[in-house]
Amino acid sequence: MRVRWHDVSGADGVGLRVREVAGPPGAATVVLHHGLASSQRIWDLLLPALATHRRVVTYDARGHGLSGKPASGYGFDHTAADLGAVIRATRSGRAVVAGHSWGAMVALELAARHPRSVAGAVLVDGGVTRMRDGFPTWADAKRALAPPLLAGMPVEEFRGMIRTFFADAVDVTPDVEDIVLSVMRVDRRGTIHPRLSRANHFRILRAIWEQDPMQLHPSLTVPALAIMAHRAADEAERGWEDAKRAAAAWISAAGAPTRFVWMEGIHDLPLQQPDAVARRIEAFARTAVR
């Protein structure tokens, strides 16, 4: 793959670290947005398959990875504007935007508010349910979903924990370890520090709690594909899956141009089933991009 890394300016001048992966000559572009407390590296495993057909752009969202980390601008007005700025700076035209988890919510926001800037949106296990349905108050959400306190942990201890994160659902290869470690800065003593600060994590979480994705879907004027993870044998995930299915039924009944497909797997589908996710994105892009 031919890859180019560079920085572009986001909505309010924040520096965003961008990766452009060349596709076939003249290929249309897919722009990928990662989830909360992740990085653009989560897309690494599906890039070879997707770049066979498409030019691909990924980037670290503000506060994450190698991008700038301001103390403000984490609402969806700014993060969707950042996505639009990346599209323009990389001359991606009316690209298909795809997001994972929180990134799906950003992609949905841009598609709903600024449909002329995108050809369509792919939502990977996100951008469907309302956090407020599970956590009626912000205090409830903040308490239940606070990030773990990992700063200062030896990097080798953290590396040893990576396998437990996925409960054997993902083959934890050295590449997967590197992807997970990309969310951390390792100091000279060999201890880790999350690249997303705790304060900025909560700023994004508050924006997620306030957004109502279900109301955005009926306003879409571009096509959307929601790729939802499900684990039929996992009782612990049943409540979350039921909420997603109920939201999908409501969105479909409301006449939204959103199509739903269900993929067996965990929330981190780009790591567990990268080729399958790439195929779904590519098939959607073939119909969305004219």
Question: Could you tell me if 39 and 104 lie in one domain?
Answer: yes
Q: Which amino acid is at 24?
A: P
Q: Which pairs with CB-CB distance under 8 Å and at least 24 residues apart come from 128-131?
A: 128/104, 128/213, 128/214, 128/226, 128/228, 128/244, 128/247, 128/248, 128/251, 129/213, 129/214, 129/243, 129/244, 129/247, 130/211, 130/212, 130/213, 130/214, 130/247, 131/208, 131/209, 131/211
pLDDT at residue 21 above 90? yes
Task: Note the pLDDT of residue 163.
Answer: 85
- Asked if residue 141 belongs to a domain, the reply is no
Question: Could you tell me if 26 and 53 lie in one domain?
Answer: yes
- Asked if residue 190 belongs to a domain, the reply is yes
Question: Could you tell me if 56 and 26 lie in one domain?
Answer: yes
- Asked if residue 139 belongs to a domain, the reply is no
Task: Note the pLDDT of residue 231.
Answer: 81
Question: Could you tell me if 211 and 251 lie in one domain?
Answer: yes
Question: Could you tell me if 57 and 184 lie in one domain?
Answer: no
What total number of domains does the chain contain? 2
Task: Note the pLDDT of residue 232.
Answer: 64
- Asked if residue 140 belongs to a domain, the reply is no
- Asked if residue 20 belongs to a domain, the reply is yes
- Asked if residue 25 belongs to a domain, the reply is yes
Averaged over 181-191, what is the pLDDT?
96
- Asked if residue 47 belongs to a domain, the reply is yes
Confidence band (pLDDT; 50, 70, 90) for 239? confident
Tokens of 157: 């201890």
- Asked if residue 143 belongs to a domain, the reply is no
Beta strands 15-21 and 55-59, pairing class:
antiparallel
pLDDT at residue 188 above 80? yes
Question: Could you tell me if 9 and 78 lie in one domain?
Answer: yes
Question: Could you tell me if 181 and 226 lie in one domain?
Answer: no
Confidence band (pLDDT; 50, 70, 90) for 250? very high
pLDDT at residue 113 above 80? yes
Q: Which domain holds residue 267?
A: 3-133+197-288
Question: Could you tell me if 154 and 81 lie in one domain?
Answer: no
Distance CA 226, CA 262 (A): 8
Which CATH number covers residue 226? 3.40.50.1820
pLDDT at residue 234 above 80? no
Task: Note the pLDDT of residue 238.
Answer: 76
pLDDT digits (tens, 9 = 90+) for 41-87: 999 999 999 999 999 999 999 999 999 999 999 999 999 999 999 99
Confidence band (pLDDT; 50, 70, 90) for 168? confident
As a whole number, the mean pLDDT across the chain is: 95
Question: Could you tell me if 10 and 119 lie in one domain?
Answer: yes
